[in-house]
Amino acid sequence: MERLPGFRDFYPEPLPTADAWSADARRHIFDTWSAVARRYGFREYDGPPLEPLELYTNKSGAEIVAQLYNFNDKGDRAVALRPEMTPTLARMAAAHERNYKKPIKWFSVPQLFRYERQQKGRLREHFQLNCDIIGEKDPAADAELIALLVDSLRALGLTSEDFVVRLGSRNAWQEFFERGRTGAADAGEPSDAYAFYQAVDKLEREPEGSGEALAKLGFPPDQVKSFITSAEPTPELRAILHNVTARGLGDFVKVDYGVIRGLAYYTGPVFEAFDRKGEFRAICGGGRYDNLIKQVSGGKVDLPALGFGMGDVVLVELLKARGKLPKCDARCDVVVLVEEESLRAASLGVVQQLRDAGFSTEYSLTALKPDKQFKRALELGATHTVKLAPAAEGRLVARVKHLKSRDEREVAPAEVADSIRT
């Protein structure tokens, strides 16, 4: 039986097939994400993978709603597998924000699901780093988040020659939309802001279809393109750029009004990271969603917020292309050789001693010829082997061998771990 289309198996080590994914590489990325987020003072959170359908239908936008894995559960509740994390975060923050000092700085690495057409860099499930700041409206929070994004990619080995963060403004586009709205209405065309944002968001990737959509809304595509290339940065964007540049990260960020973000809830500065060569989809994206918590809480809680999501699919493709994925071989420190079955019980004691001391330790689960056990130790890349042997007066000694130098010494079985450590 094959796995479902758009889903992945993660093997313990890379296999020589194009669609094989490595659990070791995934762990490397997750650990890096978490370490950088914690350096910035972010705390980890998580939520359920299954949420009420209503959480998404009025807040994320029509495109995501159309891609939901949703159904009615056995209690006849309309539910959906989470396609993104921000609505869950908004729900959680609205419920308990009084228990946390502001600003709230949280991160998570959830698995997300969308039923969409498979293509390069996009599957039907992915893992994603989500970092959000709640309760701070100053542009310094936007700069802090962008710096975290940049440092997350730098920690994975990427440089300003590999990627750039493109910074735009939903506010600037809102003003542009409002200025052109009268003309659109006079032309008898609909003036739907969300449809307009969607068309602008896809203008670079799908110029023909997006151009037609803009024209139907009463916005000449050439006028929109002119705004993208000539508009001046807003005061907010200038403040963000100044903050990021002061950190020494200015080479990673530029203003680009071609970035607008397609989700309905964005309200202010928005940003996306792309590889410099333009080979892949956006590596990550985010921005301000100052009204979302108010919407989710039914008006009971009103807090400014912003965040970003960085998916693992495009990121792994980029790291592979740039040779930045580390070789993640299975680590084995010691192999305990059981050369006589009469010594198995005592050998198990040594195995446990080594594992308690923090050494990755292997041994043959069943009787096996000594030469095969030693060959296995070499295959595992062990640094040491240990074998017990009878000594005078019925005692046992442990022979500890360093495989690279071939040096061997005898110690008491209880001193094996200390011997290897020193």
Q: Are residues 302 and 396 in the same domain?
A: no
| pLDDT value, residue 15 | 60
Whether 286 and 339 map to the same domain: the answer is no
Q: Do 392 and 253 sit in the same domain of this protein?
A: no
The answer to whether residue 191 sits within a structural domain is yes
- Asked if pLDDT for residue 190 goes beyond 80, the answer is no
Task: Give the H or E element holding residue 10.
Answer: strand 10-11
Distance CA 366, CA 375 (A): 15
Query: CB-side exposure of 320: number of CA atoms within 13 Å?
Result: 17
Count of domains forming the chain: 2
Q: Is the pLDDT score of 311 beyond 60?
A: yes
Looking at residue 377, what is its pLDDT? Answer: 96
Pair (235, 155) in one structural domain: yes
Q: Which amino acid makes up residue 239?
A: A
pLDDT at position 60:
67
Same domain assignment for residues 153 and 106: yes
| Per-residue pLDDT at 17 exceeds 80 | no
Does residue 3 belong to any structural domain of this protein?
no
pLDDT at 188 over 50: no
Claim to verify: residue 285 and residue 164 sit in the same structural domain: yes
CATH number at residue 194: 3.30.930.10
User: What would the two tokens of residue 164 be?
Assistant: 């750039």
Report if residue 282 sits inside a domain.
yes
Dist. CA 78–CA 94, nearest whole Å: 21
Backbone angles phi, psi at 18, to 5 degrees: -65, -35
Rounded percentage of the chain residues whose pLDDT exceeds 90: 72
More confident residue, 262 or 413: 413
Extract the runs of DSSP E, i.e. beta strands, from 25-173. Answer: 43-44, 50-52, 70-72, 78-81, 104-108, 111-113, 125-134, 163-169
Whether 318 shows a pLDDT value over 90: the answer reads: yes
Sequence-separated (6 or more) residues with CB below 8 Å from residue 158: 318, 319, 322, 324
Query: What average pLDDT does the segment 249-265 reach?
Result: 91
Which pLDDT band, with edges at 50, 70 and 90, does 90 fall under? very high
- 244 and 204, same structural domain? yes
- Rounded Cα distance between 129 and 108, Å, is 6
* Predicted pLDDT of residue 354: 98
pLDDT value of residue 328: 72
Per DSSP, the three-state class of 68 is: coil
Residue 168 backbone dihedrals phi, psi, to 5 degrees: -125, -170
Q: Which of 273, 35, 254 is nearest to 155 (CA)?
A: 35
Q: Are residues 108 and 232 in the same domain?
A: yes
Average pLDDT, the chain: 91
Q: Mean per-residue pLDDT for 60-79?
A: 88
| 203 vs 19, more confident | 203
**Could you tell me the residue range of the domain that residue 345 belongs to?**
334-421
Arithmetic mean of pLDDT, 125-146: 98
Closest CA to 287 of 261, 252, 250, 253: 261
> Does 234 have pLDDT greater than 50?
yes
Q: Is the pLDDT of residue 138 over 90?
A: yes
pLDDT band of residue 164 (cuts 50, 70, 90) is very high
Rounded CA-CA distance 142/244 in Å is 9
User: 277 with 338, same domain?
Assistant: no
pLDDT score, position 180: 78
Q: What is the mean pLDDT of residues 155-167?
A: 98
Residues 75, 190, single domain; the answer is yes
The CATH number of residue 347's host domain is: 3.40.50.800
Residue 249 lies in a domain: yes
Which of these three, 321, 354, 374, is where a domain ends? Answer: 321
Q: Is residue 1 domain-resident?
A: no
Measured between alpha carbons, how far is 212 from 177 in angstroms, rounded to an integer?
A: 16
Among candidate residues 321, 353, 379, the one where a domain is terminated: 321
| Domain identity same for 301 and 366 | no
- Asked, for residue 5, whether it belongs to a domain, the answer is no
52 contacts 61 by C-beta, under 8 angstroms: no
CB atoms within 10 A of CB 47: 15
* Structure confidence at residue 422 (pLDDT): 85
Residue 197 has pLDDT above 60, yes or no: yes
Within a domain: 291:
yes
CA distances from 207 to 201, 214, 215, 287 (A): 10, 10, 12, 24
In a domain, 49, yes or no: yes
When comparing pLDDT for 187 and 421, which is higher?
A: 421
pTM score, whole prediction: 0.88
CA 360, CA 69: separation in Å to the nearest integer?
A: 41
